[in-house]
Amino acid sequence: MGTLVLFGSFIVLMLLSVPIAFALAISSIFTLLVTEKMPIEFIAQGMFSTVDSYALMAVPLFVFAGILMEYGGLSRRLIDFAKSFVGHYTGGLAGVTIVACTIFAALSGSGPATVAAIGGIMVPAMVKEKYEAGFSAGVVASAGTLGIIIPPSIPLIIYGITTNTSIGDLFIAGVIPGLLIAILLWGLSYYISKKKGFVGSGEKATGKERWKYFNEAKWTLLMPIIVLGGIYGGIFTPTEAAGVAVGYSALLGIFVYREIKWSKVPEIFTQTTLISGIILIIVATAATYGRILTVEQVPTTVANFLISLPVDSWVIIALIVLLLIFIGMFMETLAGILLLAPILLPVVMELGMHPVHFGIIMILAAEIGFLTPPVGDNLNVASAISGLSLEQVAKATLPFTIALITLLFIFTFLPELVMFLPNLLD
């Protein structure tokens, strides 16, 4: 009865377009009122205990760091640096976009933030050079997905907290998949550009020019080394690394590049507060919803059902991956992780999958959700930047989405690609 009420009320609220955080909270309250298994105070206590977490402090800090980078001119310097190396190739500006997104992903930890920071500069530049607007928006939306797989990644932090998995291991496990995805996107954009006749700048940058752009971006390029090197070197925790990222970003933006004006500080804090508040409300309500699922024994029931299916284990894993892709089309990434990870992790562990491996698979499936309607966070940002409709951008990203799905299944059934670095460091 409780499970039916919990799922039924949540689905109805979602169909009524109630924001997901409120849908999770209302369905949780309704379930407690109907079943009377726990006092209603459980909701408030659960939400407070969830956000009262040292590890979770990394999320608003990385959000703050990402916004400081955007205002501080870091994205423009990354683009100039990337352009000096790959801008002259066929589809050169598409390659620049992908390289810049790859580097910025290692600074921001967010997909939509990566699209906004890089796309705001690159989409107009590509259109000016006679690239199709749809292709331009599709490239930046697709490359922006790297923001949640290349460390530091906010969704990986949430997965680690939810499943009690090492965030450091998750971060290092995301490196190889992230780089392979970047290479795949670059290769596909090169093929499409060659087919459609999108040329590069035509002029290869000289060594002197490359040195100039490297010199301008050197402090920005040093940031991932400081943050990730500090984590894996045992100098500081992921949460402390987020604090270091904030301090370093502020130092660059205010004193080195001098592009963060004091008049913009209130705007920076406002954006940080709004984005962080949205994330933390979703985390708090989804975690409480997940606790009620546990009380109703939903994870155990689902695990027993899947394991008892008269099929090979690889079929069950493939079905779980397809489920993650489907859920990602309709549910916000963090909420999906908080709700599904506790349910599905026991199943895949029973089938021999490592928690770190499954975490990367969940995040890769969420990447695809960024490119698929109706939610499609990256599609919405790219649509706003390019002035195209959501449908037009979604159509342009279709080849990249198919490539990402293919790569997702490769990572699923070749765990060595994901676990190589974590195993190497053990």
Tens of pLDDT, residues 322-366: 989 988 887 778 888 888 898 899 899 989 999 999 999 999 998
Average pLDDT for residues 137-147, to the nearest whole number? 91
Whether the predicted pLDDT of 178 surpasses 70: yes
pLDDT of residue 331: 77
Q: Give the integer Cα–Cα distance in Å for 61 and 413.
A: 34
- CA angle centred on 205, ends 201 and 211, rounded to 5°: 140
Instruction: Report phi then psi at 138, rounded to 5.
Output: -65, -40
Average pLDDT for residues 158-185, to the nearest whole number? 93
pLDDT interval class at 291 (50, 70, 90)? confident
Whether the predicted pLDDT of 320 surpasses 90: yes
pLDDT interval class at 202 (50, 70, 90)? low
pLDDT of residue 200: 64
Q: Which residues contact 104 (CB under 8 A, 6 or more apart)?
A: 69, 74, 75, 78, 114, 117, 118, 147
Average pLDDT for residues 82-97, to the nearest whole number? 82
Whether the predicted pLDDT of 272 surpasses 70: yes
Average pLDDT for residues 115-138, to the nearest whole number? 85
pLDDT of residue 201: 60
Q: Give the integer Cα–Cα distance in Å for 208 and 11.
A: 59
Average pLDDT for residues 206-217, to the nearest whole number? 89
pLDDT of residue 129: 78
Q: Which residues contact 123 (CB under 8 A, 6 or more apart)?
A: 133, 136, 137, 140, 382, 385, 386
Cβ neighbours, 10 Å, residue 1: 9
* String of DSSP letters for 84-153: HHHTTSTTHHHHHHHHHHHHHHHHH--HHHHHHHHHHHHHHHHHHTT--HHHHHHHHHHHGGGGGTSSS-
* String of DSSP letters for 403-424: HHHHHHHHHHH-THHHHHHHHH
Whether the predicted pLDDT of 411 surpasses 90: yes
pLDDT of residue 95: 87
Beta strand spans in 109-264 (E): none
**Would you say 194 and 95 are in contact if contact means Cβ atoms under 8 Å apart?**
no
Model confidence, pTM:
0.82
pLDDT of residue 345: 93
Average pLDDT for residues 408-421, to the nearest whole number? 95
pLDDT interval class at 309 (50, 70, 90)? confident
pLDDT of residue 385: 81
Q: Give the integer Cα–Cα distance in Å for 390 and 381.
A: 9
Please provide the average confidence, as pLDDT, over all residues in the chain: 86
**Positive/negative CA dihedral, 76, 381, 161, 169:** negative
Average pLDDT for residues 124-151, to the nearest whole number? 88
Q: At what angle do helices 298-308 and 333-350 cross, to 10 degrees?
A: 50
Burial classification of residue 302, based on how many CB atoms lie within 10 Å of its CB (0-12 exposed, 13-18 middle, 19 or more buried): middle
Residues 394-404: tens digit of each pLDDT? 899 999 999 99
Q: Give the integer Cα–Cα distance in Å for 346 and 342.
A: 7
Burial classification of residue 218, based on how many CB atoms lie within 10 Å of its CB (0-12 exposed, 13-18 middle, 19 or more buried): exposed
Residues of 48-86 as b/e, b for ≥16 C-beta within 10 angstroms?
eebeeeeebbbbbbbbbbbbbbbbbbbbbbbbbbbbbbb
Q: Give the integer Cα–Cα distance in Å for 149 and 10.
A: 29
Between 344 and 276, whose confidence is greater? 344
- CA angle centred on 11, ends 383 and 296, rounded to 5°: 130
pLDDT of residue 288: 83
Percent of the chain with pLDDT strictly greater than 90: 29
From the list 278, 265, 387, 288, the residue with the least C-alpha distance to 25 is 288
Q: Give the end-to-end CA distance of the chain in Å, rounded to a whole number.
A: 45
